[in-house]
Structures are given as structure tokens and as C-alpha cells.
Structure 1
Amino acid sequence: MQLISDLFPFLNGLVQEGNYVTIVLIVLFTIVINLKNIFNFVNEFKKNRLSNIESALSDDRLPSNMKYQLTSELSIEYFSLIYGVRLSTPMINAILLLNERIKQRVAFRHLIIISKLTPNIRGIEHDSYRVKLDKFDYIPLIYNALLGIAILSLGLLIFILCLISSFQETHFSIVLLSMFFMLVGVLLLREARAFLSIHYINDALNLYQKSNN
């Protein structure tokens, strides 16, 4: 409570000084810090939906075709709740099939990463299958990678300059801005990690195919 009571005069001082950039950055950092609570709320919603589906499946009056559909929905919801990504039934089956082929060489999280990009799964029943994306799917990956490197570098540069210069209270907003840039840069690079995942998966598939020949 003491922290909260001390925070309001601090924010009031920023408003009076017209330091709105610092206020915006504090709000953004607060949102980032509380992302876990937001995700927990979403997970609770998913759990409630799972409960509703399971209750419906236990009802003997439900038609068989409806039960088949709800069983498929149940698998999708469980997968989404556990791995944090909602996929179609064919994509889930494709990911599980690839995992059987490469689970000894590549972590399952790499399959989850590439599944978000909905790669073409045509011909996945053959050992010659390799993960490929459409040309347009590479555009956001390249964009996120280049922009992430640029923003992260800018944030590091600003932070280093603040450390080199004489540190005063007036530098607070600049340090906060540099930390925000670094955070955004890391998040953008994280979104571009599919490049590495595709490389690891396809290398493992090459070894799998050679071992079966």
C-alpha cells in the first residue's frame, strides 16, 4: 500500500512537468508485467469451455454426429490450453506425426512455433515431406527479425550512452525508453525464431529419411 501511495504523487509530478512519454512507458511496462494475469483469465475461459464440452459429451441424449464434433473440439481446446496455440484438427495431427519422426532430435516447442504459421501439410504422410512456408509467410518473419535487431540495437545504444554520461534524475525517462526499446526488440526477434525452428525440423527430417532408407 505504501508503494501505491507513493506512486500517485510521482505520477502527479510527471503530469505537472508535462513528462507524458514517461507516463506512457510506465503504463506499457505495467501492462507487460501483468500479462500473466491476462493469460490466466483467458485460460480460465478455456477451462470453462472444456467443462461445458465434457458435460455435453456425458449427456446420452446428444446425437452421435454431435458427439463426434464435440470430441474433435475437445482435443483442440486441450491442445490450446496446454500449448497456448489454437490449431485445426488436421494441423494437430500433422504436428503429432512430425513429432513421432523427430522427437529424438528436436524439441516439441519448435513444432509448436512453426504450427502458428500454418505450413503446408500436403504430402506429410511421405518421408520426403519438409516444412515449407509460402513466400508471403516469410515477409513478416523477415520484417520482425530486421526490425527487432534495429530496435534492440537502438535501445542498447541509448542505455549505454546513459551509463556513460553523468547519471542525473532527468535521465530517468530516457533510461526507461531504452529499456522499453530493448523489450520490444526482444519480442520481435522472438516472433522471428521460426527461421531456426524450420531449419532444425528439416535437418531432423533429413536424418529421419536417411535412417529409413
Structure 2
Amino acid sequence: MQEIFKYLESGDYKFAFFAVIFIIIVNLRNILTFIDERKKRKLNIILEALNSANISGVLEKHLREEVEVEYFRLAHGVKLEKNKIEKLLSLKAFLKGRLPFHLILGARKYINNNEFSYGHANVNIGVFSIIGALFNLFTSIILVMMIYVLIDTDTSKNIPLISVAIIQVIFALYQFYQFLAALLLKVALKSAAS
């Protein structure tokens, strides 16, 4: 760690940046284990409370729902309310394997919860969603080209800009992925209905 501070004080940010990235990569397994244990902690507390004799009927029902939500979050990495989970799972059952569940999860922000029943889901892809998806794709391409040019110039002053650009590309591509998932879901629903 002292070596990193020496490079920072001397102005060699490039080496310090890559050293921090290397340290994170080397310790990634420990970091992921720590995060996983933190996620399981809430589930363990709820399960312990359910085993207690001091839990009343209403609280027990609520805690059982929370257990289902936590198991879903651990399995899929997404925390949703129980009714939303049930709706997405019924949508998966209706589609009968036409679309993988991770794409249905990816499209969840485009699904209208108020107009949802078995066999019918309203997937709202408006004009602004289309414009936003195309903008995200376009800016991602431009930022990737910019990152390539900045890395090619080999100056350590560009590292913060490169870092922000990489984060922006990841965020924009994730939003584009959600849009594509919603588009695929809409097509799958039309083909399942016919």
C-alpha cells in the first residue's frame, strides 16, 4: 500500500491505478465472499425469527413472504416485491420457454404492473424508450472509440476520464440490454398469443 502512495505522490497515477485494479482482482474472491455473506445475513435473521415461538400469525406470514423475496434475490440478484415475483414467474410459465427468465427480468421496468394477468402483460416501449436506447448505443460506441484513443495516447492524466467513460459505457449498455429484453419480450408475447 505504501508503494501505491509513493507512486501517487510522485505523480505516476497510471501505475497506482493499475496497482489498485490488480489488488481488487487478486482479492476478488474474498470480496465476493464477503458480499455474499452480507446478503445471506438478512435471510438467516428472518429464518431464525420464524423458528421463534414468539412470532404471531400476521408477522409469521410477513416473514415467510420476506424469506421468498430473499431467496429470489439470492438466486437472481434482483430484489422485487412478492407480487412482482409471482407475476414474472407466471409470465415465464405462459411463455413456455420462448424467452429465458433473465431476459424477462431484464425487461421488468417496461412491464406495466397494473395491466398484468396470466397470458397478458402490457410491455410499454414508448418513443422516448426507443430514442434513449439508440442514444445509449450511439454514446457507447463513441465512448469506446474515445477510450481507445485515450489509452493509445499513454498519458496518466487520462486515467480518471477513462474510468468514468468505462463506467458510462457499462451503464449505457445495461440500459440498452433492458430495452432489447423488453423488445424480445413483446415479440415473444405476441407469438405466444397467436
TM-score > 0.5 by shorter chain? yes
Of 156, 180, 184, which aligns to 1:173? Answer: 156
Aligned residues of 1:110 and 1:201 also touching (Cα < 8 A):
yes
Of 192, 197, 200, which aligns to 2:176? Answer: 192
Shift of 1:194: 0.6
Pairing 1:121–2:126 present: no
Aligned residues of 1:148 and 1:184 also touching (Cα < 8 A):
no
How many residues in Structure 1 have an aligned counterpart in Structure 2? 192
Pairing 1:132–2:92 present: no
Aligned residues of 1:95 and 1:111 also touching (Cα < 8 A):
yes
- Identify which range, 46-55 or 34-43, moves more after superposition: 34-43
1:132-171 correspondence runs (5 A): 132=124, 144-159=136-151, 161-162=152-153, 171=154
Aligned counterparts of 1:79 and 1:174: Cα–Cα separation in 2: 43
CA deviation digits over 1:112-131, x for unaligned, max 9? Answer: 2223x374212211534232
> In the alignment, which residue of structure 2 is the partner of 1:12?
6
Of 41, 47, 70, which aligns to 1:48? Answer: 41
Pairing 1:73–2:66 present: yes
> What's the secondary structure of 1:122's corresponding residue?
strand
Aligned residues of 1:76 and 1:86 also touching (Cα < 8 A):
yes
Q: Which runs of 5+ in 1 are unaligned?
A: 163-170
Aligned counterparts of 1:43 and 1:109: Cα–Cα separation in 2: 20
CA deviation digits over 1:141-189, x for unaligned, max 9? Answer: 5664443232112112344x55xxxxxxxx3637967974674354121
What is the identity, as a one-letter code, of the residue corresponding to 1:123?
E
Aligned residues of 1:144 and 1:191 also touching (Cα < 8 A):
yes
- Identify which range, 81-90 or 138-147, moves more after superposition: 138-147
Q: CA RMSD in A?
A: 3.5
TM score, norm. by length of structure 2: 0.77
> In the alignment, which residue of structure 1 is the partner of 2:193?
209
Aligned residues of 1:25 and 1:177 also touching (Cα < 8 A):
no
Q: Which runs of 5+ in 2 are unaligned?
A: none
TM score, norm. by length of structure 1: 0.71
Aligned residues of 2:119 and 2:193 also touching (Cα < 8 A):
yes
Aligned residues of 1:50 and 1:74 also touching (Cα < 8 A):
yes
Return closer, same or farther for 1:137/1:101 CA change in 2, 3 Å cut-off: same
Shift of 1:99: 0.8
Query: For the pair shown, which has the larger CA radius of gyration, 1 or 2?
Result: 1
